[in-house]
Amino acid sequence: MTSIINSSYFLILSTTAKESLSILEILLIALGYLTFFAVAGLFLVLLERRVAAWFQLRIGPNRVGYQGLLQTMADALKLVSKELTGTIKADKLLYNLAPYFVIITALMSLAVFPFSKQIQAFDINIGIFFLIAVSSIGVIGILLGGWASNNKFALIGAMRSGVQTISYELSVGLSLLTMILITGSLQLSEIVEVQRQGGWLILQGHIPAIIAFMVYMIAGTAETNRAPFDLVEAESELGAGFHTEYSGMKFAYFFLAEFINMFIIASIATTVFFGAWLSPFGITESIPWLGVFWFLAKAMVLVFLMMWFRWTFPRLRVDQLLTLEWKYLLPINLVNIVIMALIVWLNLTIKF
Amino acid sequence: MSYFSDIYKGVKTLLTGMSVTGKYFLHSRKGAITQQYPDNRATLKMFDRFRGEVIMPHDDNNQHRCTGCQKCEIACPNGTIEIVWDRGIDEYTGKNKKKIDKFVYHLSMCTMCGLCIDACPTDAIKWGQNFENSVYDRTKLTRVLNKPGSRLAPGVEE
């Protein structure tokens, strides 16, 4: 099992395969990952709707299945069966390509996460770098979709998304870099190993780590284009933003990608700040497969935090968005890196 | 130096907002305002100010308070109310008086503006809380509000 999962469906592309796996095995693993996260994405949609309802003193979907558990399944089936419409003047190739850009980049990032000690599809030595790089390809899909639909609302939404992602990508990268100063490695398994020996990184790095975490959560929320940074698809201004002209399954891809991206942002934070699959105080260290539970539990807490943001804060204007990034987050981040470097240099990190 | 105080205030107000919504989240179980309608049909009670339909209350002796002044009919902007009236001897005073024969209310034309109820000098008509008004035949929405055999309550006109 270990050896199978350690190698990945990326093996098809990679030339340095650890051991030879048959194409069938690789495909099966890939299929398993894709199925699991497609279904997980659907349940995240349900969670979002229930949490939103609770924040607004409503009940939320609770009719389809027990407590509405099958609601989003039914929604997805409906979307699959819907007609795919498009505009006549759309750039057909790019218009049809855009949803796949978004969903594929979202799914690609999932390969590198250490869900437990054994379950990590692709453990490359530039893990964090890979995550940052891949997660920002998604915006190309959004830009393509907005531009190719030949619709002014879609175009405005897409351009806003470009502005937003390019700006906030910096903060995400720099706040993660702050933590990399402690670990000294970009490899995710290495980062977890550092935390296994010396406690979660948010405790090891104390004050600068907490600042980095706050900056990361703000910038990460902005990167997923969720409220309060959802001016990409501001309903009151732009209809639905970049996916105005999409219907059926293509729309579902954008929708699913948003939720998988949210999970990815939470997973990166889990891995880098909260010790990935490590249990608190090592209480279940003897049972390795519980790592999956701990990883998903921590990720869910962070996902809930992002939902909490969404249902609390009002949407920012474009100028406020850029002010927040370039005048506040970026300078704070740069200073924070220097502080963290000093702390690491003077050995002031807290080790357990 | 307002830069740093701005950051402080920003973080503080964000946390304030989150604590407010967090409290709502925690109390959502008890305080949910959603009515799961067809399920709670027996217990569902509409609030006092709900405008369901215009009704004319009758007391135990089958007496209403409508004098047939037709102010509501004049006040209604879309002809929802038609009053069929006649003159006759009033039982209590013995005088020849105007009294209603039928208070006809076309619910299908009513916009629930409430001008008739505001206009009524004797509080003869009120808002009812019933909202289940779907029927298969549109003519069933035309109602006669005064009950058969009802008459004006004594003392309304003094």
Same domain membership, residue B30 and residue B57:
no
Assign B86 to helix, strand or coil: strand
Average pLDDT score, chain B: 87
Same domain membership, residue B25 and residue B63:
no
Residue B49: Cβ within 10 Å count: 7
Same domain membership, residue B133 and residue B66:
yes
Contacts of B34 (CB under 8 A, 6+ apart): A53, A57, A58, A59
B/e letters for B73-112, b = 16+ CB within 10 Å, e = fewer, are: bebbeeebbebebeeeebeeeeeebebbeebbbbbeebee
What is the number of alpha carbons within 13 Å of residue B9 lying toward its C-beta? 6
Overall size of chain A counted in residues: 352
Same domain membership, residue B104 and residue B57:
yes
**Residue A35 · residue A41 · CB < 8 Å:** no
Establish whether this prediction's ipTM goes over 0.85.
Answer: no
Residue B137 belongs to some domain of the structure: yes
Nearest to A211 by CA among A259, A167, A179: A179
Same domain membership, residue B98 and residue B57:
yes
Q: Which two three-digit tokens encode residue A145?
A: 């979709």
Residue A207 C-alpha from the chain's centroid: 24
d(CA B19, nearest CA chain A) in Å: 9
CATH code of the domain in which B116 resides: 3.30.70.3270
> Domain residue spans in chain A?
81-345
Residue A312: Cβ within 10 Å count: 20
Q: Is the CB of A308 less than 8 angstroms away from the CB of B18? A: yes
Name every chain B residue with its beta carbon within 8 A of the beta carbon of A51.
Answer: 25
Q: What is the pLDDT of residue A8?
A: 44
Residue with tokens 């299908």: B108
Residue B22 belongs to some domain of the structure: yes
- Averages of pLDDT over each 10 residues, chain A, 352 residues: 45 47 83 86 88 86 85 86 83 87 86 81 84 85 87 86 86 90 86 83 85 91 84 78 83 86 90 84 76 88 91 87 89 92 85 73
Option in B6, B22, B36 nearest A308 (CB): B22
Residue B40 belongs to some domain of the structure: no
**Residue A278 · residue A197 · CB < 8 Å:** no
Q: Note the pTM of the prediction, 2 decimals.
A: 0.80
Q: What is the pLDDT of residue A259?
A: 87
Q: What is the pLDDT of residue A238?
A: 79
Q: Specify the number of domains making up chain B.
A: 2
Return the residue in B25, B26, B30, B36 with the most chain A beta carbons within 10 A, the one to mutate for interface testing.
B25
Q: Is the CB of A55 less than 8 angstroms away from the CB of B21? A: yes
Residue with tokens 């990508």: A169
Residue B128 C-alpha from the chain's centroid: 5
Same domain membership, residue B63 and residue B30:
no
pLDDT single digits (tens) B53-72 = 899 999 888 888 888 888 99
Same domain membership, residue B123 and residue B63:
yes
Same domain membership, residue B139 and residue B108:
yes
Same domain membership, residue B144 and residue B85:
yes
Q: Is the CB of A55 less than 8 angstroms away from the CB of B18? A: no
Helices (H), chain A: 2-6, 23-55, 71-81, 92-109, 127-135, 138-148, 152-183, 188-198, 201-204, 206-223, 235-238, 248-273, 290-310, 318-323, 330-345
- Residue B21, domain extent: 2-34
Q: How far is CA A327 from CA A213, A220, A222, A324, A339, in A?
A: 18, 17, 16, 6, 19
Return the residue in A210, A309, A312 with the most chain B beta carbons within 10 A, the one to mutate for interface testing.
A312
Mean pLDDT value of segment B20-33: 81
Contacts 24+ apart (CB under 8 A), B85-92: B90/B152, B91/B151, B92/B154
Amino acid identity of residue A41, one-letter, is G
- Helix H or strand E segment including B127: strand B126-128
Q: What is the pLDDT of residue A230?
A: 83
- Between CA A202 and CA A218 the distance in angstroms is 16
Same domain membership, residue B81 and residue B20:
no
The number of C-beta contacts closer than 8 angstroms across A and B is 43
Helices (H), chain B: 2-26, 28-31, 71-75, 115-119
Residue with tokens 């709707």: A49
What does DSSP say about strands B126-128 and B53-55: parallel, antiparallel, or unpaired? antiparallel
- Between CA A117 and CA A97 the distance in angstroms is 36
- Between CA A304 and CA A127 the distance in angstroms is 25
What does DSSP say about strands B81-89 and B96-106: parallel, antiparallel, or unpaired? antiparallel
Residue B18: Cβ within 10 Å count: 17
Q: What is the pLDDT of residue A183?
A: 86
Option in A55, A214, A332 nearest B25 (CB): A55
Residue with tokens 């035949």: B137
Residue B96 belongs to some domain of the structure: yes
**Residue B90 · residue B32 · CB < 8 Å:** no
Q: What is the pLDDT of residue A11?
A: 42
Q: What is the pLDDT of residue A5?
A: 47
Same domain membership, residue B126 and residue B63:
yes
- Between CA B155 and CA B158 the distance in angstroms is 6
